[in-house]
Amino acid sequence: MDPSFKIVIVDKNPVRAAILEDGLRDAGHVEVVHIAEMSHLLARIYAIDPDVILIDLENPSRDVLEQMFQVSRAVKRPVAMFVDQSDGASIEAAVDAGVSAYIVGGLRKERIKNILDLCISRFNAFSRLQNELDRTRSALEERKAIDRAKGILMKAKSLTEEQAYALLRKTAMNENKKIAEVAQAVITAAELFK
């Protein structure tokens, strides 16, 4: 992992935060920012714009956990959460919120580097999967629009499916646009004439 990463530690307890900071510094990380105050946490994290976030909670209440999960959902960065005790619902909520590593108990500075590496690797793997899912959804939506536009053209101009597709493709090439863009324009125009 890149030692120039900016890392934020969110922890009210200065002793526990010091353990994390020592572990990070031992691993070669020098850009470490400690946030001890939880008010306006999301705004503060946005202002710092960290590469990684470490959240350390001794005995988190549901409200505190929800605030941390909001941070995890909003910032789209690797997040490792350290807690002293947990239950299945909290773990599931953390995973749903995008927490990359959820560590229960055993906060020791010797483990920090490995946990950080795991957190970043899991975040990157999840990001790749999310990007692939987004591309697939987009391609499916484009395919649906093209099929719908073909149907509109087939009905309006008495064309075969192949002819309708050829017309979409030719129009897209002539206008230097994607076929899906032309298809969406056909759909929009058809909606206007209803």
Sketch out the chain's domains with CATH numbers: 7-107 (3.40.50.2300), 135-192 (1.10.10.10)
- Whose tokens are 């002293």? That residue is 84
**Higher pLDDT residue, 193 or 169?**
169
Which of 90 and 50 is assigned the larger pLDDT?
A: 50
Sign of CA dihedral 25, 29, 30, 31: negative
Phi-psi region of 40 (alpha: psi -120 to 50; beta: other; left: phi over 0): left
Tokens of 21: 């900071």
Residue 159 has a pLDDT of 94
Task: Say if residue 44's pLDDT is above 90.
Answer: no
pLDDT above 90: residue 162: yes
Three-state SS at 34: strand
At residue 98, the pLDDT reads 79
Segment among 5-9, 65-69, 99-103 with least mean pLDDT: 65-69
Residue 61 has pLDDT above 70, yes or no: no
Q: What is the pLDDT of residue 128?
A: 95
Q: What's the whole-number mean pLDDT along residues 115-133?
A: 92
**Predicted local confidence at residue 60, as pLDDT:** 64
Kindly report, residue by residue over 99-121, the tens digit of the pLDDT: 888 888 777 888 888 888 899 99
Give the chain's mean pLDDT.
87
Residue of 85, 50, 88 lying closest to 71 (CA atoms): 50
Q: What percent of the chain is modeled with pLDDT above 90? A: 40
Q: State the Cα–Cα distance between residues 155 and 160, nearest whole angstrom.
A: 9
Q: Residue 85 above 70 pLDDT?
A: yes
What's the rounded mean pLDDT across residues 71-89? 81
Identify the band that residue 1 occupies on the pLDDT scale cut at 50, 70 and 90.
Answer: low
Angstrom distances, CA of residue 128 to CA of 29, 74, 107, 123, 168? 25, 18, 29, 9, 32
Exposed (0-12), middle (13-18) or buried (19+): which is 163, by Cβ within 10 Å?
A: middle
The per-residue pLDDT for 104 is 85
Torsion over CA: 9, 73, 91, 130 (sign): negative
